[in-house]
Every structure is written in structure tokens, then in C-alpha cells.
Amino acid sequence: LDEMLSGLMDAEEGRLSFRAAFPRMQVRVSVSGEDPAQLQERLDRLEGAIRERLGDAVYAVGDEGLEETVSRLLSERGSAVAVAESCTGGLIGDRLTDVPGSSAAFLMGVVAYANEAKVGVLGVRPETLATDGAVSVQTAEEMAAGVRRISGADLGIATTGIAGPGGGTEEKPVGTVCIGMAWEGGGWSRRYNLGTRDRGWVKQATAQLALDLIRKWALGIPLPPS
């Protein structure tokens, strides 16, 4: 963030500061002066410049978490999500249900950790697991489609990956995560390499990625390339 916003303003205009409390990062703009109207005009102008630099990475103003943003956006459009989680172990559902009134936007969460659960509950095909593996975009897609089907949600999203510290291979090292999404008439999936990090970090980062993908879907922002 510091690099992206470098040179945006000089010291006479205002001051930028940052707060990083993973997985949330905040940018704070401070201005000083005597005329409240001029200060507000300057704040508005600087906020606009920051938004232009950061683009759709900005999801809220103030102390609003991504789960709150997602719940609000889904409620506003009258849509609901269901989640199928493997490597995140229910973390996405936990964050969404931390938001008061989230039942309007969150229908169901399934933690399908074992392959038997992926097949028996979500309808993942055994041949998909045999050919592509549990950690694959194909499995993530079928998990997302399955949880959407059994819940009746507008959007299904699924996570599967290798959080570590063991379980990685040369082809799929620790930090390999696949996220899949399914909605009426469409679907999306992508493989991410989050690097060899702490198990909790991988789970938190995957949940943050998934929530941001829900946000983009709700806003109609193009999803990243598959």
C-alpha cells in the first residue's frame, strides 16, 4: 500500500498512515487546518485520489470488515451464499456469522474435509478425485456446485488446499489453494500459490480471498483470470 500510494500527496496536503492487522489493512488520511469546509473538501479530494490508485481493492470506508461488506452487498441485491470448506475448516462461515443479521445472506456452510464427505455430501465425483486430486480446481468447482445445489443459494463457493506444514508435493506445495464458485448459468475457479507459510496464515488468507471473490461477484466486478 505504501508503494502504491507513494507520491500521492505532499506534507502540506495531508498525511498518510497505515494499520495492518492481518487480514485487514487500513489506510488513514489526516489533514489539518482552520476551515472545516476546506478540510472536508481536501479529504474528499484525497480520498478520490486514493480510490483511483487502489481501484477495486478498496472495499469499505471506516472500520468495516470484509465479512460485513459481503453480508451487506448480498443483502442489498437479495442474494444468498452457501460455502463448502475443506482447508479453511469453517473459517469463512464463522466470519460471515459474526455479522448480525447475516442469515439474510448466508444460508449454509459445509466443512467437507475428508474425500468421503466431498463425495457423499457435496456430490464430487470419485473420478474427479482420482484423476485431479482433492486439491484441484476441478474438485473446487464441483464442491461449489454441490453446496449451491443442496442449499438453494444464489452463489456457492468452495475452498480446498494444502495448509501445511505437511502434505505438500513438488506439483502441489504447501500453500496451494483452489477456490471454486458456482451460480446460475456460470462458474469460476482458480488455483493460488500462497507460499510456505504458517497453517493459520494460509487458512486466514484463503478465507479473505474467498470473501473478496464473493464481494466482486456481488458487485459485478470481473473475477480474476481462471
Q: What is the pLDDT of residues 139-172, one digit of tens each?
A: 999 999 999 999 999 999 999 999 999 999 999 9
User: Using CA atoms, how far apart are residues 90 and 206, in angstroms rounded to an integer?
Assistant: 11
Q: Contact at 8 Å (CB) between 18 and 1?
A: yes
pLDDT tier, 22 (very low <50, low <70, confident <90, very high otherwise): confident
Quick one: pLDDT at residue 100?
A: 96
Q: What is the pLDDT of residues 54-86, one digit of tens each?
A: 999 999 998 899 999 999 999 999 999 999 999
Q: Contact at 8 Å (CB) between 101 and 122?
A: no
0.75 surpassed by pTM: yes
C-alpha cell at 69: 461488506
Quick one: pLDDT at residue 75?
A: 97
User: Using CA atoms, how far apart are residues 205 and 194, in angstroms rounded to an integer?
Assistant: 8
pLDDT over 90 (residue 23): no
Alpha-helical regions (H) of the chain: 36-54, 66-77, 91-97, 115-120, 126-132, 137-151, 199-219
Eight-state DSSP code of residue 55: G
Q: Contact at 8 Å (CB) between 67 and 99?
A: yes
Q: Tell me the DSSP string of 134-197.
A: SSSHHHHHHHHHHHHHHHT-SEEEEEEE--SSS---SSS-TTEEEEEEEETTEEEEEEEE--S-
> What sign does the CA torsion over 129, 130, 134, 137 have?
negative
